[in-house]
């Protein structure tokens, strides 16, 4: 193997280790929000990390996902066989999601409505059926859960993985291409700071108020972010809102006060899903509108140039073939 091949192999190994490290770190954050048996959370960030890694770095980094998932579950699983099965499910789900997204022509820029819809239905809702089904089934078969707990656990596991895709993956895809806005004026910076402060403040307020109807007061801020800052503004706002809502639910505060975990999960995930969809769909639609406007503007410019070239110059009037200039 030549030096070029060795370099590529070393680069791939480093990427695999980096994915494993980020996956493990994201899992430790997610485990702080566990609701069921210290393993199932309403937001599982590693799933979003895994899919983003596969989309950006390619399928060759899947061993990093498997390594990170194994290191996370080896201290939590009831047995080694159960840990290996859960690891396989946690690895297979984002890999299948990535393959389906590629098949659908997904673009990492998330600048088309079809990309957002593909991420929602193929990446989140459909792809994460694998990990939730395998994981919940293994916990029941190993005796860690009663059979009656399968569906509640499955629903939390599935929605947690799906939310990881909807909230974390777009944020990482945006972060990958983030650049310092050198041309942004003071007014733009002030608006960005006002948006961030307003989003966090209103979310803290509504997630600590018992009335669940107030939760949707955050929607105007998500619309603001999508209209003014497109996906780079909408994705971080959606992540912040979902994280603060989950922290309130984990702390049994605000509209999530109660003993029924399943009912709280329905309210929480309905809110988080609405948050993510509002931010992503609006940002994609507005970005498409901007691109269509620019394309129409360029087409009009080219048409104007063609018309200008076709106009006769002054003093060069051409007579029709059937006419003759006067003597």
pLDDT in tens, 47-66: 999 999 999 999 999 999 99
pLDDT grade for 318, boundaries at 50, 70 and 90: low
Question: What confidence category does residue 252 fall into, taking pLDDT thresholds of 50, 70 and 90?
Answer: confident
Question: Do residues 171 and 108 touch, judged by C-beta distance below 8 A?
Answer: no
How do residues 124-152 score in pLDDT, each as one tens digit? 999 999 999 999 999 999 888 899 889 88
pLDDT of 2 higher than 70: no
> Hey, how many other C-beta atoms are within 10 angstroms of the C-beta on 1?
8
- The pLDDT confidence band at residue 323, using thresholds 50, 70 and 90, is low
Q: Look at residue 35 and tell me whether its pLDDT is greater than 70.
A: no
How far apart CA 111 and CA 278 sit, in angstroms, is 15
If you ran DSSP here, which 8-state letter would residue 42 be given?
Answer: S
Give me the residue label for tokens 């080896």.
74
pLDDT of res. 152: 82
pLDDT tens for residues 169-214? 999 999 988 777 667 788 889 999 999 999 999 999 999 888 777 8
Q: How far is CA 44 from CA 31, 136, 298, in A?
A: 8, 15, 44
pLDDT, average across residues 87-105:
96
SS3 assignment, position 79: coil
- Confidence check: pLDDT of 37 > 80: no
Give me the mean pLDDT over the 234-262 stretch. Answer: 83
Mean pLDDT computed over every residue of the chain:
87
User: pLDDT band at 19, cuts 50/70/90?
Assistant: very high
Question: Is-contact 254 207, C-beta < 8 A?
Answer: yes
pLDDT, position 155? 86
Q: Which domains does the chain have, with CATH numbers?
A: 1-178 (1.10.1760), 181-307 (no CATH)
Q: Is the torsion defined by CA of 18, 19, 20, 22 positive or negative?
A: positive
- 260 versus 270: the higher-pLDDT residue is 270
DSSP, collapsed to helix, strand or coil, labels residue 178 as: coil
Determine the pLDDT at residue 213.
78
- 205-237 burial string, b = 16+ CB within 10 Å, else e? ebbebeebebbeebeebbbbbbeebbbbbbbbb
Q: Give the range among 29-33, 274-278, 282-286, 314-318 with minimum mean pLDDT.
A: 314-318
The gap from C-alpha 313 to its chain's centroid, in whole angstroms, comes to 57
């Amino acid at each position: 193997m030549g030096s070029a091949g060795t370099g590529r192999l070393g680069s791939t190994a480093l990427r695999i280790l980096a994915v494993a490290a980020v996956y493990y770190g994201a899992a430790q954050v997610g485990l702080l929000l566990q609701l069921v048996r210290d393993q199932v959370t309403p937001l599982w960030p590693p799933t979003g990390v895994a899919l983003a890694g596969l989309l950006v770095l390619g399928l060759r980094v899947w061993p990093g996902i498997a390594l990170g998932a194994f290191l996370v579950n080896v201290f939590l699983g009831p047995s080694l066989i159960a840990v290996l099965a859960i690891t396989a499910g946690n690895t297979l789900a984002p890999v299948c999601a990535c393959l389906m997204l590629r098949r659908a022509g997904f673009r990492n820029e998330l600048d088309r409505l079809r990309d957002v819809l593909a991420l929602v239905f193929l990446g989140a809702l459909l792809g994460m059926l694998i990990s939730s089904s395998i994981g919940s089934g293994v916990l029941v078969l190993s005796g860690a859960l009663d059979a009656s707990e399968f569906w509640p656990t499955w629903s939390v596991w599935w929605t947690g993985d799906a939310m990881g895709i909807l909230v974390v993956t777009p944020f990482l895809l945006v972060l990958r291409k983030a650049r310092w806005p050198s041309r942004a004026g003071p007014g733009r910076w002030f608006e960005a700071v006002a948006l961030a402060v307003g989003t966090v403040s209103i979310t803290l307020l509504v997630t600590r108020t018992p009335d669940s109807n107030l939760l949707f007061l955050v929607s105007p801020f998500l619309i603001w972010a999508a209209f003014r800052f497109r996906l780079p503004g909408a994705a971080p706002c959606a992540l912040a809102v979902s994280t603060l809502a989950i922290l309130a639910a984990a702390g049994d505060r605000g509209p999530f006060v109660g003993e029924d975990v399943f009912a709280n999960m329905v309210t929480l995930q309905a809110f988080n899903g609405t948050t993510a969809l509002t931010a992503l769909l609006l940002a994609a639609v507005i970005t498409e509108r901007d691109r269509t406007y620019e394309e129409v503007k360029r087409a009009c410019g080219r048409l104007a140039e063609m018309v200008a070239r076709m106009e006769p110059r002054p003093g060069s009037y051409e007579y029709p073939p059937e006419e003759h200039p006067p003597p």
